[in-house]
Chain A
Amino acid sequence: MRWLATAALLFCVADATAITIVVGNTPTRVSLRVGSPGGQIDLVTFTVPAANVGDGVPVAGTVPGQGGLAGFCPANTVYVEIEGRASPANSRTVTLSVDSTQPLSNGIDTIPFTQIDWISTGFPPVSIPSGTFSGGAGQVLVSFQNSRVALQCLRFRYLNQSVVGAGTYNGRVVYGVTMP
C-alpha cells in the first residue's frame, strides 16, 4: 500500500510538468572574405624599378582603396575575415587554406608565387601568421575552433630574388575555408 501511494504521488508531480521547449537543429555558418565584399577580386600591384630587378630587396605591394574595409586596415593591406559559427563552441575546426599553384605570367615568362610573402596584422583571438606562398594547392594558413572570427590585414611583398624578363606579370591566388 505504501508503494502504491508513492507511485501515485510521483505520477501527480510529473503530470504538472507539461510544457517542454526543445531546440532542434542549431545553425552553422562559415564564411570567408578576402578584400572587397561582393565577389570583387582585388588587385595587389608590385612595381619593381628596372635598376632593382632581382636585387633581393622586397617590394611592398599597393592596394587601391582601403584594402576592402574602410577604417579597419592600414593603407595597402588586404582585409581578410574568416568566421566559423556552430554550437557549441570548440566543436568544429575552421581551416583557411590558399591555392597558389598558378604562377604569375607575362605571357612568356613566369614568376612562382613563392616569390610573394605577406606580413600579418591580426586581431585576437585568432591570427593568421605571416608567411610565404608555397606555390601549391591546399596551403593551410590557419586553423581555429568555431564560434570565433579571425580578422587580419595582410601586407603583401614581392621578394624580388630572381632576375626576370621585363613586363607585367599577372596571377591569382584562391583562398578557401572549411568547417567540417
Chain B
Amino acid sequence: MRACARLLALLLAFVPPAGAATRLDDSLSPRQRVEIVPRWVSESTSGRLSNEQLNALVAEVRQFEVRLNTAKYVGREAEIYLRLPVAIIGLHSPAGLRLEWRTRGRFASGSVRPGERMLLFRGAISQPVMEDTFDFVLHFDGRYIQRGLQFDPIYEIEILR
C-alpha cells in the first residue's frame, strides 16, 4: 500500500514536459451533466433552403461554469485548449456537430468540430483553479445525429516554459 501511495503521489505531482498536451481535471465544475433538446433552426422551407439549412438544429447551454484544476501548473507558462473528441457516441459524421462558445473573458471564445481544438488561454498560470462561465451553442446537422449523442468537452494544457 505504501508503494501504491508513493506511485499515486508521483503521478499527481507529475508535470508533463513542454509541448505535450495533458488533459485538465474539470471535475470542480458545478454542473457535471447537461441534457439538451435541439430545435430546428428553420421552421419554413418554401423551396429556398439547402439540405444543410433544412437539417440544421441548434441547442444552447447558458451560463455553464467551468473550473479547471491548474494547481500543478502554477508559475508555468502554458496554453489551455478546448478539444472535442473525434469519436462521439451518436454522431455519424464530424460534419454533424459544431460547438461554439462565448465566455466572460478569462478564456477566449471560439468554436470547434469533433477532432479539433481551440485555444482558450495563453500565459502564466497564476491560480490553482481557473474558471470562466461559458455560453455554449451547439450546432447540429440532423442527418448525422441520433438521440443519446453525448460527449465530454476536453480541456487540455500544454506547458510552454
* Contact in complex: A1, B54 (CB < 8 Å): no
Residue A166 interfacial (CB < 8 Å): no
The majority secondary structure among interface residues of chain B is: mixed
Q: What total of chain A residues lie within 8 Å of the partner, measured CB to CB?
A: 38
* Contact in complex: B25, A21 (CB < 8 Å): no
Instruction: Note all chain A residues with C-beta closer than 8 A to B140.
Output: 23, 87
The majority secondary structure among interface residues of chain A is: mixed
Instruction: Note all chain A residues with C-beta closer than 8 A to B104.
Output: none
* Contact in complex: B36, A69 (CB < 8 Å): no
Instruction: Note all chain B residues with C-beta closer than 8 A to A22.
Output: 33-36, 148-150
- Considering only residues 11-39 of chain A, those with a C-beta below 8 Å from chain B are 12-13, 15-27, 29, 31
Given A83-B45, A147-B143; A19-B32 close (CB under 8 Å): yes
A12, A18, A27: the one contacting B29 at CB < 8 Å is A18
Closest 7 A-B residue pairs measured CB to CB? A89-B143, A18-B27, A16-B25, A23-B149, A22-B150, A87-B142, A18-B26
List residues of A whose CB falls within 8 A of some B CB. 1, 4-5, 8-9, 12-13, 15-27, 29, 31, 69, 72, 79, 81, 83, 85-89, 91, 123, 147-149, 151
Knowing that A17-B152, A23-B140 are A-B contacts, what are 12 other residue pairs whose CB atoms are under 8 Å apart, sorted by A's residue number? A5-B7, A12-B12, A15-B27, A16-B27, A18-B32, A20-B34, A21-B152, A23-B37, A25-B147, A27-B38, A72-B47, A81-B47
